[in-house]
Structure 1
Amino acid sequence: MHVVVLGTGMIGTTVVREIAKSEDIDMVTAVDGFQKRIDMCLQAADHSKVVGKLAELQTEADIYNVLKEADVAIACLPHSLSFTAIRAAIAAKCSIVDLVGSQFAEKVELESQAKKAGITIVPGCGVAPGITNFLAARGIEMLDEADEAVMVCGGLPKHPLPPLWYQVVFRLESVMGLYTRPALAAENGELVECPPLSGLETITFPDPVGECEAVITDAHSAAHTLKDKVKNIYEKTVRYAGHWSKMSVLAELGFLEKDAIEVDGKLISPVAFTQKILEPKLRGQSKEDITVLRVSVKGKKDGMKTRYTWEMVNNFDHERDITSMARTTAIPAMLTAQWIATGRLDERGVLPMEKIMIGKRFKPFMEELKGYGIEIEFQQERR
């Protein structure tokens, strides 16, 4: 089996290094547009199965050319290239696991093409969306009647610094969308859009995290696929206390607007200006991080009010020298690609995690996550 990894940043490198260890994988091609990144990836992987390939990954033709001889691809690319990568995979008849969960409605329209090509497409396969989605689906599956599912997740610096108590792990442009885009959710079985930065609540996690805040962010595929099974479903993103209120002030003052304004005769986008100002202040002084997750599903089981809760506090991986966010994002994607390659996941079409990692697959997948240090605690409350 030949696996291609598109993008060799922090997550892509983690994927390459771990999937190369699989006895079922014969070859791993690490593809990027920058030779320096490829060289760093090859050094980190240090495996004879891994080869590097320098290639542009900007168009469908670019990506098709690197996938046409592969069996499975894992896309670790920016949001803007997600749909392009999936279309290229269909053309190449190559199954693909994509970290990006956006544009699900457009992606699911490719269902018939994916089935005709005989491939599996798994969109939004990371920690959130990804792990959070199939935990919510599992909770709904376990109940007789599901009222609400809330998926909470966030990446936090271990050593937060003022003024925003946050540091960027990946691309700031992806983070900025949390402050500016309406958030998709489902209420009473119908899709709804919630205003950016809405639904602010205080939420507490075990030490060393403590008190945090969360706001509603996009529920991606889960809003579409689970809305007929649960009355309400939301995703929320966690930050340390005070972060969201400060970003709300910037939004209220217009600093997050996209439309260009004239300043001294030049047109400037306020959000682009803000991003440029914020980026150096969000780099932090340590790469150590913590990823928190809590998925809560409530309803009725055997006539009793029941709540199922899964919780995770995941720390920086000193053994592999990778961030918690890289581990919790890369490992689900890597394992899912491995399951496709070995035939353990043999359905065809567009299949988000909440459709595939439930039922009989749930426990084995959770055990494999645990084997990579992603331990998620479960609690049941009934009354």
Structure 2
Amino acid sequence: MGEGESILILGEGRIAQAVLYYLKKYPWLERIEFYSSDKRVEKYSLIISCLPGKEAPLGLELALKFRKNLLDVSDLDPPFYSKRKRDIEKRGIFVVPGCGFCPGLVNFIIGREIYLEPKIDNVFIKVGSLSKESFFFPFLWCFEDLILEHRLPSFQIISGRKIKLSPFSGYKKEKLLGISAESYFSVSGFENILEKKRFLNFHFRVIRPVGFRDFFYFLENYGFLNKENFEYTRKVVEKVKKDNYTIAIIELRRGRRKIVWEIVSFSKKESLLNSMQKITAIVPASLYRIIFMKKIPLKGLIFMEELAKNEILFEQMWENIKEKGISLERRTGKSC
């Protein structure tokens, strides 16, 4: 990448729009456009893919076909990319999968902490969106992927064993930011981390406002999530806007030593971007900015947890995120 920079964004949903919002602030970019079948992909310097799950493979397909670097926000499982690792290397490009919030920023933090302390063997993650408004359930990102997340079984590492759990397993009441909430085990994008290191426990929980599980079952049982009603339901739930938070709590342990990261993104109901759009889109936008400004050479398939080993990238990422008013806090202590 160099002078005359231009970026092609795949997708035109809320995360794609937020990526565009941040990229427009970079004066050196000559052109930023959304993808369509008549676009000449070869004319762009970089692809940023923000596609929903079913369409997501198109990002890597175009990157390989036209030899274009790719920052992929789409939520595809790591093995999808690992199978094409040799193809990526042969094409002489770099591909960064899971380049969003979770997977993405959360992987970045975990990767950095394990790089600094390889003996960490317990990781507990909670991620989700909340509102202080009673009986309001924020649907802040891709509706299709959010619904699918609560239909799929998850795999968790519990006491050294990989265990398959059904959706909404491990229901637990929570109190976060003074808001009544609930959490449950959920699917995640940490397969690449789990393949490279053994853990005693590695738990991923999704956080939702209290009552969300029952609301989901209501939608499911009354057919609101059936194919013929899906688009109508999406429009109804996405139309309502309230003040909203997106948070992540990451706890890492080695023996009695404990490290806790807390990330909080907040948006007023009238804000141009909701809290999930902010924290997700700033990751690929910041990563692109750092690579361009610092001229950091990247090559091949690089997961976010691997990028975190680069101190310049890590420090610059936090500076860029804090500039956008997102709260980041790291604490250390001892576990009970």
Please state which band the TM-score falls in when normalised by the shorter chain: 0.7 to 0.9
1:294 equivalent in alignment to 2:249: yes
The 3 A distance-change label for structure 1 pair 374 and 230 is: farther
Matches within 5 A, 1:236-247: 236-247=205-216
Q: Does residue 1:29 correspond to 2:3, yes or no?
A: no
Q: CA deviation at 1:196?
A: 1.6
Whole-Å separation in 2 of the counterparts to 1:9 and 1:96 = 18
Instruction: Choose 181-190 or 75-84, whichever is displaced more.
Output: 181-190
C-alpha distance in structure 1 between counterparts of 2:22 and 2:73, whole Å: 16
CA–CA distance in 2 between the matches of 1:13 and 1:280?
17
Superposition map of 1:108-119 within 5 A: 108-119=82-93
> Offset at 1:26?
3.1
Amino acid at match of 1:223: E
| Structure 1 residues 90 and 313, CA gap change in structure 2 (3 angstroms) | same
For 1:69 and 1:121, locate their aligned partners in 2 and report how far apart those are by CA, in whole Å.
18
Matches for 1:199-278 after TM superposition, within 5 Å: 199-207=170-178, 210-220=179-189, 222-231=190-199, 232-247=201-216, 271-272=226-227, 275=230, 278=233
Q: Counterpart amino acid of 2:249?
A: R
Alpha-carbon deviation of 1:343?
5.8
Give structure 1 stretches of 5+ with no counterpart.
Answer: 33-54, 57-61, 257-268
Tell me which residue corresponds to 1:326. Answer: 277
Paired position in structure 2 for 1:315? 266
- Unaligned 5+ residue runs, structure 2? none
Is the alpha carbon distance of 1:341 and 1:71 closer, same or farther for their aligned partners in structure 2, counting shifts above 3 Å? Answer: farther
Q: Distance in 1 between matches of 2:161 and 2:95?
A: 25
2:326 paired residue number: 374
Map of 1:339 onto structure 2: 290
Distance 1:218 1:29, change over 3 A: same
Q: Which entry has the higher C-alpha Rg, 1 or 2? A: 1
State the alpha-carbon separation in 1 of the partners of residues 13 and 232 from structure 2: 23
Shift of 1:21: 2.4
- 8 Å CA contact 2:78, 2:191 repeated in 1: no
**Structure 1 pair 85/157, CA: closer, same or farther in 2 (3 Å)?**
same
Give RMSD over aligned pairs: 2.9
- CA 1:283–1:211 in structure 2 vs 1: closer, same or farther (change >3 Å)? same
Residue 317 of structure 1 and its aligned partner are, at CA, apart by 6.1
> Contact conserved, 2:123 with 2:203, CA < 8 A, in 1?
yes
Distance 1:9 1:281 in 2: 16
Higher mean alpha-carbon deviation, 234-243 vs 187-196, is at 187-196
What TM-score do you get using the length of structure 1 for normalisation? 0.76
Identity of counterpart residues, as a percentage? 20
Amino acid at match of 1:169: L
Contact 1:191 1:227 in 2 (8 A): no
Instruction: Supply the AA of the counterpart residue of 2:100.
Output: G
> How far apart are the structure 1 equivalents of 2:330 and 2:85?
33
Secondary structure at 1:16 match in 2: helix
Secondary structure of the equivalent of 1:292?
strand
Amino acid of the residue matched to residue 30 of structure 2?
Answer: M
Partner residue, 1:143: 117
Aligned partners of 2:47 and 2:69 also within 8 Å: yes
1:369 Cα offset (Å): 1.1
Distance 1:86 1:205 in 2: 37
Query: Cα–Cα, structure 1 residues 139 and 78, in superposed 2: closer, same or farther, change >3 Å?
Result: same
Superposed displacement of residue 308, structure 1: 0.7
Compute the displacement of 1:356 (Å).
0.5
Aligned-residue offset at 1:281: 5.4
1:321-369: CA deviation from partner (whole Å, max 9, x where unpaired): 2111111110001112233444644232222211102351322211221
Offset from partner CA, 1:50-103 (integer Å, 9 cap, x none): xxxxx24xxxxx6xx542121211112222221122121111111111111323
Aligned-partner SS, 1:145: coil
Between the aligned partners of 1:10 and 1:180, the Cα distance in structure 2 is 22
Match of 2:146 in 1: 175
